[in-house]
Structure 1
Amino acid sequence: MRMLKLYEKHYDALKHHLFPGDGLESIAFVLCGNTFSGNRKVFTSHKVKCIPHEKCNLRAEDRIDWDVSLIQDLIEEAEVKGLSLFKIHSHPGGYNDFSEVDNISDNSFFPTLNAEIDQGIEHGSIVMTPDGMLVGRIVIGSTDYQRIDVFQVVGNVIHIQSDNGVCVDLREEYLRNSQAFGRGTQSLLQKMKVAVIGCSGTGSPTIEQLYRLGVGELVIVDFDTIERKNLNRILHSKVELIGTNKAYAIKEALDSTGLPTKITIHTVDITESELVISDLSTCDLVFGCTDSVLSRDLLTAISSFYLIPYIDMGVKLSADGQGGIKSIYGVINYISPGDSLLERGQYTQEDLRAEGLFKDDPDEYKGQLDKGYISNVNVESPAVISVNVNISSFAVLDMLERIHPYRDDGPERVKRVFVSLSDLDITINSKFDSDKYLMDNRGRGNVYPLLYMPNLSRCEEAT
Structure 2
Amino acid sequence: MSTSTHKQPLKLALSEAHHAQLRDHLFPGDGLEAAAIMLCAQSSLHRYVVNRVLPVDHSSCLARLPDRISWPGTAIEEAIDQAEAHDLTILLVHSHPGGALRFSATDDESDREVMPSLFEASNLPSILHGSAIMTPDGAIHARLYDRQLSITPVSAVHCAGDELLTWRISEQGELMPKPMAFSAQMGLDLKYLTACVVGVSGTGSIVVEQLARLGFGRLILIDFDKIEFKNLNRIINATLEDARNGIAKVARFASIIPTYRSDIEIFTLEASILTREAIELAGLADVMFCCVDSLEGRQLCDRTAAAFLQPLFDVAVTIPTRQTRVGIAIGDVCGRVDYVKPGGSTLADRGVYTPETLRREYLQQVAPDELTEQVAEGYIKGIADEAPSVISLNMRAASDCVMEFIARAYPFRQDPNHRRARTVFSLAAGEEEYTSETDFSRAPNPDLGRGLLEPLLGMPRFSISEVTL
Fold shared, TM-score > 0.5 on shorter chain: yes
Q: Deviations over 1:395-447 (max 9, x none)?
A: 000000111011101212211001111111010001212231x2x33112111
Amino acid at match of 1:308: Q
Say whether the 8 Å CA contact 1:313–1:330 is kept in structure 2: yes
Which structure 1 residue ranges, 4+ long, deviate > 6 Å from structure 2?
Answer: 457-460
> Structure 1 residue 444 and structure 2 residue 447: aligned?
no
1:174 match? none
1:235 match? 236
Residue 318 (structure 1) shift: 2.5
Amino acid at match of 1:200: S
Say whether the 8 Å CA contact 2:181–2:406 is kept in structure 1: no
Label 1:441 to 1:141 Cα distance change in 2 as closer, same or farther (>3 A).
same
> Structure 1 residue 410 and structure 2 residue 416: aligned?
yes
For residue 309 of structure 1, the aligned residue among 303, 308, 311 is 311
Secondary structure of the residue aligned to 2:331 is: strand
Q: Deviations over 1:160-219 (max 9, x none)?
A: 12221789xxxxxxxxxx885335432321111101111221111111111111111111
Amino acid at match of 1:153: C
2:3 match? none
Q: Distance in 1 between matches of 2:16 and 2:117?
A: 30
1:226 match? 227
Q: Distance in 2 between matches of 1:166 and 1:245?
A: 43
Residue 271 (structure 1) shift: 0.4
Aligned residue-pair number: 437
Label 1:428 to 1:209 Cα distance change in 2 as closer, same or farther (>3 A).
same
Label 1:133 to 1:457 Cα distance change in 2 as closer, same or farther (>3 A).
closer
Q: Distance in 2 between matches of 1:29 and 1:179?
A: 34
Q: Deviations over 1:284-304 (max 9, x none)?
A: 111111111111101111111
Amino acid at match of 2:257: L
> Structure 1 residue 391 and structure 2 residue 392: aligned?
no
Pairing of 1:259-278 with structure 2 (within 5 A): 259-272=262-275, 274-278=276-280
Residue 353 (structure 1) shift: 2.3
Say whether the 8 Å CA contact 1:31–1:86 is kept in structure 2: yes
For residue 255 of structure 1, the aligned residue among 235, 251, 258 is 258
Label 1:183 to 1:253 Cα distance change in 2 as closer, same or farther (>3 A).
closer
Q: Deviations over 1:118-146 (max 9, x none)?
A: 33321110122233332221010152221
The TM-score normalised by the length of structure 2 is 0.87
Secondary structure of the residue aligned to 1:407 is: coil
For residue 292 of structure 2, the aligned residue among 287, 290, 293 is 290
1:48 match? 53
Unaligned stretches of 5+ residues in structure 1 = 168-177
Residue 379 (structure 1) shift: 5.1
Say whether the 8 Å CA contact 2:456–2:463 is kept in structure 1: no
Amino acid at match of 2:238: S
Label 1:90 to 1:345 Cα distance change in 2 as closer, same or farther (>3 A).
same
Q: Distance in 1 between matches of 2:354 and 2:259?
A: 42
1:74 match? 79
Secondary structure of the residue aligned to 1:315 is: strand
Label 1:297 to 1:375 Cα distance change in 2 as closer, same or farther (>3 A).
farther
Residue 106 (structure 1) shift: 1.2
1:21 match? 29
Amino acid at match of 2:311: P
2:149 match? 143
Secondary structure of the residue aligned to 1:346 is: coil
Q: Distance in 2 between matches of 1:250 and 1:111?
A: 47
Secondary structure of the residue aligned to 1:270 is: coil
Say whether the 8 Å CA contact 1:233–1:384 is kept in structure 2: yes
Say whether the 8 Å CA contact 1:354–1:377 is kept in structure 2: no
Q: Distance in 2 between matches of 1:311 and 1:411?
A: 14
Label 1:379 to 1:99 Cα distance change in 2 as closer, same or farther (>3 A).
closer
Q: Distance in 2 between matches of 1:11 and 1:165?
A: 25
Residue 383 (structure 1) shift: 5.0
Q: Percent of counterpart pairs with the same letter?
A: 32
Secondary structure of the residue aligned to 2:136 is: coil
> Structure 1 residue 210 and structure 2 residue 211: aligned?
yes
Q: Distance in 2 between matches of 1:77 and 1:383?
A: 55
Label 1:122 to 1:394 Cα distance change in 2 as closer, same or farther (>3 A).
same
Say whether the 8 Å CA contact 1:196–1:288 is kept in structure 2: yes
